[in-house]
Structure 1
Amino acid sequence: MLYIRDWLMHRSFLILLLIVNVIGTIYGYIWYGPQLSETPPIFLPFVPDSPTASLFFVFVLIAWLRHTNWPFIEALAVVTLVKYGIWAVVMNMLVLVVTGQLGFAGWMLVISHGAMAVQALLYAPYYRMSFIHVVVAAIWTLHNDVIDYVFGMMPQYQMLSQYTQQIGYFTFWLSIVSIAVAYIFSRRH
């Protein structure tokens, strides 16, 4: 177990993970480009869910490379990585069920978003967040759900539009589970 811990926090591995997450974040913002061009400015921070989650983790990695912790960012990272990692996997699997197919981009989203959730969990022992940090992340995340499903700013999956209410309900409970995961991690310190 000590070997895995040493490997996960090895400077070279953290730099590699940082590079991968920066590339994924940039790609994510590009993927959201068409939707962002139609988004009212007040909602812009809340629309690109997954790239913002990986951006939070980019800042966590930068902090760790500087031998420090930024607990508010850690809480935002863990909640959003778990939530949007799982959410995108489930939505793409739903696309597969509804349409009977999932192209290369869909499978790439399944793999990359699954990895987002896994990295959030793998790094749990290194977070230094407390209850108040998780509360702030919870407010951000639940507010984002309102922006998405009350104001209609959710990610655009046209082939799933008939399931918007059910997806909104699922998303709310996924937020609660992700917040609970962060809370459990925060109790370790």
Structure 2
Amino acid sequence: MLHLTEGEATGLRNWFKKPWFILGVILGNLFGTGLGFFWYQEQLAHTAIKYWVFIPDCPEFALFFVLMLLGIRLNRRNQLFEVITWFGLLKYGAWTVSTIGLFFGAVKLQHLEITLAYAGEELVLFVAHLGMFLEGLWLTQFLRLTGRRLLVTAGWFAIADYFDWVVGVFPRLPYLPHLNLVRAESIISTLLLIGILSCLYFTENGNNNK
């Protein structure tokens, strides 16, 4: 599904057969999950419990990636879960990286004291979410799509966007004047990823029918 040679695909899979590498990825994601839930603790404390599942998107998908890796290692794969995890890693990884980039582009030298105050926290978040995005790219090679998986995944993230941007449980933004921009970016990313999944689905099924 990615344009990889057989050797490249085998090489990628072999990395994830190395126990030390798997352990490093799992520990890194678990650390990111814990850090993420800590970052969201104030918002969770001030939000009704019924909305909690829609709030800590990034730590949830960092944890999902760990569960997905364990499923692959134990030969207990859930391919719908893998598609949803792929979507979330790419969507929220890219969205957070771009949101942080917009923040620094907006404040930069005009508000140097703000830039310095947030630099450490935002840099850690930037690196962690770039890692999420790269994990999503790696996962693309394993996707196996059906119409049901495509529809369930599209529905999942349409609902997530509704709660984020209509109900209003979106995460704390580093620069609130960017609200309209990052809202549009989130919705567009959902539509774009649904489009990519659809193309992959029809390409895969077209190849299978030849």
Question: Normalising by structure 1, what TM-score?
Answer: 0.90
CA gap 1:116/1:27 in 2 versus in 1, 3 angstroms: same
For the structure 1 residues 155 and 92, does the alpha-carbon distance in structure 2 shift closer, same or farther, using more than 3 Å as the test? same
Paired AA for residue 178 in structure 2:
Y
Report the residue type matching 2:95 in the other structure: W
What residue is the counterpart of 2:33 in the other structure? 25
Q: Aligned residue for 1:166?
A: 181
Kept after mapping to 2: 8 A contact 1:125/1:185: no
Aligned partner of 1:117 among 127, 133, 148: 133
Whether the 8 Å contact between 1:11 and 1:65 is mirrored in structure 2 is: no
Task: Report the secondary structure of 1:128's partner residue.
Answer: coil
1:140 equivalent in alignment to 2:156: yes
Q: Which residue of 38, 55, 76 corresponds with 2:84?
A: 76
**Which whole-Å CA distance do the structure 2 matches of 1:10 and 1:132 have between them?**
33
Secondary structure in 1 aligned to 2:144?
coil
Q: What is the alpha-carbon root mean square deviation over aligned residues?
A: 1.9
- Distance in 2, Cα, partners of 1:129 & 1:10: 27
Q: 2:64 aligns with which of 56, 61, 66?
A: 56
Does the CA-based 8 Å contact 1:56-1:77 persist in structure 2? yes
State how far apart, in whole Å, the 2-side matches of 1:151 and 1:163 are.
18
Kindly tell me: are residues 139 and 126 of structure 1, through their superposed partners in 2, closer, same or farther at Cα, counting changes over 3 Å?
same
Shift of 1:10: 3.4
CA contact (8 A) 1:50 1:84 kept: yes
1:125-166 Cα shifts (integer Å, max 9, x gaps): 223343312321221111111111111110111x52223222
Structure 2: gaps of 5 or more residues? 1-7, 109-114, 206-210
Residue 52 of structure 1: CA displacement? 1.2
Structure 1 residues 156-180: Cα deviation after superposition (integer angstroms, max 9, x where no partner): 11x5222322221111001112333
CA distance in 2, matches of 1:176, 1:47: 20
Q: 2:70 corresponds to which letter in structure 1? A: I
Which structure has the larger Rg? 2
In the TM superposition, what is the alpha-carbon distance from 1:11 to its structure 2 partner? 4.1
Count how many residue pairs are aligned between Structure 1 and Structure 2: 188
Please report the TM-score for the alignment, with normalisation by the length of structure 2.
0.81
Indicate if the aligned counterparts of 1:21 and 1:54 stay in contact, CA closer than 8 A: yes
CA distance in 2, matches of 1:182, 1:20: 27
Find the aligned partners of 1:50 and 1:92 in 2 and give their Cα distance: 14
Question: In 2, are the aligned partners of 1:71 and 1:127 still within 8 Å (CA)?
Answer: yes
Percent of residue pairs identical? 23
Whether contact under 8 Å (1:47, 1:155) holds in the other structure is yes
Deviation readout 1:82-118 (Å, 9 max, x if unpaired): 0000000011011101221351111111111011011
Runs of 5+ in structure 1 lacking a partner?
none
Give the corresponding residue for 1:150.
Answer: 166
